[in-house]
Structure 1
């Protein structure tokens, strides 16, 4: 019996070709994962107060209208105070993410500059990225509520302003120079410790050269109406400033331009142009007026003038009202603090010699320089301080009040008028009224009698006018005048009477010519009508001697 064949077992030590397929699949998958991960950009976190219009997986991040990222997730912060947005950026955007990069939401807005973002009505809001130039990398950003005025590296000048809380200036307001917009307010914040507003301004190039060390800034309210001791004034700004205000600047009149301002310089923001102009006079002499008159109508900022030229300003009314006054004063006066500003004379920025100015004013006090209150506007009753020399001024005595020198004063115009009226009333009270009243009564009695006679004459005239003869008199006069007119018409040229009168006058003239020889004969020989006329002798010539 033959033996059946037996299978022989052998161990295969090499991989089977069947494993090549899954191995290749794993390699391809790994490469695809690596390729996908290598193409992913960095992930960033955006912080917003309100995520209105932002949707995960739909909202894009753009720069120059090119997509550089997409929002992946929207959630609330742990303290529920903010919205945290996780976005995936493209690899090309990694170099844009630094400390100076800015983000803001582009959506329809209505502002002072018009309407913007209308293209997002159909496509939806998106996040705009403004690349920065800093070398410090950053992955967490605060989204701005408003678009930035200019890129951080834009050509121009950035300066800081400090203002009181009452100055209404906000981000985006225009910065103008002589009515032309040259910049914008980039940022505004309130400092609660110092109780002041801080603003950052951007002045675009090439207008940054207009800002110098002597430049003054003030708020532009659109319409500025003022009625004070200097009259009625109205200033109208641009249309944009009428709607939302803004900031304007300039160099005070007769002031040097100064050197160009440095980046980051700090300036004070004044309420108006006049306050800015007054703020340039930072060197002054302080005096106290002890006024015996009323100070109603005198307000801080009122001018101090010398013969119509402003040389200072009123600072405080009243000034330390309850402080003890010099014993030389007989009445309780109202203290008023004023400033004499020598910079108004020559507009210099150099440091003035205050001691020399005090000495100069002391000499002028000795010559009769005095201060008084005068009315600057009769409508509002506003007062100002007038300085002038008084010929009959009392001798000057140097006094001090609250460590400040006293400027000698005299009564103002209203006080002088009041005193004259008082003196007039005193004289009227001293007059003897009874004799005057008696004479007045007699005069009235005589006047009454005269009026009675006048009434009698008037009654007689009325009776005369009411008489029938007087009434018929105009008709008789008219009839006589008509008859006279008819008579004169009979002697008018061309009429028969006029021709007869002309012929009679001609014959009379001829008769007079014929009578002239007879008249001459009678003049020579009156009896010629009775006797014959004597013949005249022939003249005999005289013989020669």
Structure 2
């Protein structure tokens, strides 16, 4: 077989068409994997005390009711102290995850503002995301137990209140101004190092202008009932505060509005309105009262008044009770610390010259200014400190008690009454009672005899009144009066008896005129009835001498 007709074998390296299909499938799968991975958002970890209502693969994460993630796993922490939720977020949510982002579980709740989350009864609970505006990215978050009051970037003012332990203020409580809710309490926690409560408040816009440097905050318990030296008072807050309490703020009547508050400013939370306004008087004079009377009924916070006008406050009763007292005192007195607050007289809250006020009061002491305890409420026995000028008082010598000047005192009204009663009892004890008792016994014996006679007379009068004849006396008197009336009617001017009486009187008058000469003769000559009447000679006139 010639060589030209021999076949030649060659090896050909080429891809078989059969492999195109699986290659395309691999490329498509790789592209799908890449596409899925590129569409996956970041994975975050949520820490919760209790994973109630959270289910892996079902529970959604929403913001503004739009799904932005889903829970993938629900596990316990390594120390079994809390639950750790792993969730996959959408790519668009990555910009929302920063240090200011907040998460909380939306479920049915009954709170002060009503019922919320009823839509989750059928659909199940979900996790709400509140986007933050922080610059630092974050992937681990602690889920809040309650929904936040407002977003971190919400317009308004955030301030801090510092209070002592015991104020019943919690997250979500209302912040009101003159009864109108203008904010909420965002957070409350206890600082164990400083032993105080710290509350973060959010005042919504545009009410942040109400908070100034002179603003005072106090807690409201709904109903405030007081019965003290100033009388009976009752204050009722809003219905929401009545149920759960809250915080109220305002400015004292005689205080200026002050400068606008800065974000993050710190204020003191007072227990009530009176304490809050009293705290605005930060310039004062401290004095010590050395009281010889009882201080029962005098309590811290009681007013110090001058003729009915409050000018100060009682600070402590007693104050440094065991400290040595001045040697000029004759007996052991009870020290009471008070404050004289000149700012109560200054409506503009200007700076007060404390030293000038001390000198002014020193001059008043020389003119008889004294302090005494008086009853402010007879029902409770509460006392207050009254300042007034007194005459005929012992001159006051300047002294101090525990580096505080002493305010001169005098006995109160009750102590004066007690002293007068004591003096009266001493005088009664010194009286010689025996002669008085003897005279009193004689007087009682005479009185008994008199009463016995009076009793006998009363018995006689009773017997007389009981006699039937006595009962007929009014009827007999009436009959006599009727007869007398009939008789008088017979002597009326137009009656016959009256005419006869008139004629008789005329005859009697005529007879009396006729008898006058006879009577005159008998008067001159009594025997004229027996002998003739003597004739008298005619009188002869005498010759002049």
Partner of 1:131: 131
Partner of 2:55: 55
Whole-Å Cα distance in 2 between the matches of residues 211 and 131 of structure 1?
A: 28
2:254–2:348 contact (8 Å) kept in structure 1 = no
Partner of 2:360: 360
Q: How has the CA–CA distance of structure 1 residues 455 and 398 changed in structure 2, closer, same or farther, with 3 Å as cutoff?
A: same
Partner of 1:33: 33
Whole-Å Cα distance in 2 between the matches of residues 470 and 406 of structure 1?
A: 86
RMSD in angstroms over aligned alpha carbons? 2.8
Partner of 2:64: 64
1:509-520 correspondence to structure 2 within 5 Å: none
Whole-Å Cα distance in 2 between the matches of residues 475 and 360 of structure 1?
A: 91
Partner of 2:76: 76
Structure 1 residue 469 displacement after superposition: 2.6
Runs of 4+ in 1 over 6 A off after TM superposition: 5-8, 474-478, 504-508
Structure 1 residue 477 displacement after superposition: 7.5
Whole-Å Cα distance in 2 between the matches of residues 54 and 104 of structure 1?
A: 12
1:247-266 correspondence to structure 2 within 5 Å: 247-266=247-266
Partner of 2:217: 217
1:316-335 correspondence to structure 2 within 5 Å: 316-335=316-335
Normalised by the size of structure 1, how large is the TM-score? 0.86
Structure 1 residue 157 displacement after superposition: 0.6
Partner of 1:105: 105
CA distances 1:245-291 after superposition (whole Å, capped 9, x unpaired): 00000001111001111111000000000000110011111111111
Whole-Å Cα distance in 2 between the matches of residues 43 and 243 of structure 1?
A: 42
1:425-464 correspondence to structure 2 within 5 Å: 425-464=425-464
1:502-541 correspondence to structure 2 within 5 Å: none
Whole-Å Cα distance in 2 between the matches of residues 350 and 300 of structure 1?
A: 26
1:153-192 correspondence to structure 2 within 5 Å: 153-192=153-192
Whole-Å Cα distance in 1 between the matches of residues 316 and 31 of structure 2?
A: 83
Structure 1 residue 410 displacement after superposition: 1.1
SS in 2 for 1:144: coil
1:394-473 correspondence to structure 2 within 5 Å: 394-471=394-471
2:217–2:247 contact (8 Å) kept in structure 1 = yes
Whole-Å Cα distance in 2 between the matches of residues 397 and 474 of structure 1?
A: 87
Partner of 2:339: 339
Structure 1 residue 401 displacement after superposition: 0.9
1:305-320 correspondence to structure 2 within 5 Å: 305-320=305-320
1:377-392 correspondence to structure 2 within 5 Å: 377-392=377-392
Structure 1 residue 505 displacement after superposition: 6.6
Structure 1 residue 167 displacement after superposition: 1.0
Structure 1 residue 395 displacement after superposition: 1.3
Partner of 1:17: 17
Q: How has the CA–CA distance of structure 1 residues 7 and 121 changed in structure 2, closer, same or farther, with 3 Å as cutoff?
A: farther
Whole-Å Cα distance in 2 between the matches of residues 370 and 459 of structure 1?
A: 67
2:101–2:129 contact (8 Å) kept in structure 1 = yes
Structure 1 residue 364 displacement after superposition: 1.1
Structure 1 residue 87 displacement after superposition: 0.4
SS in 2 for 1:35: helix
SS in 2 for 1:19: helix
Q: How has the CA–CA distance of structure 1 residues 7 and 72 changed in structure 2, closer, same or farther, with 3 Å as cutoff?
A: farther
Whole-Å Cα distance in 2 between the matches of residues 337 and 202 of structure 1?
A: 38
Give 5+ residue unaligned stretches, structure 1.
492-503, 512-518, 520-545
Whole-Å Cα distance in 2 between the matches of residues 176 and 394 of structure 1?
A: 53
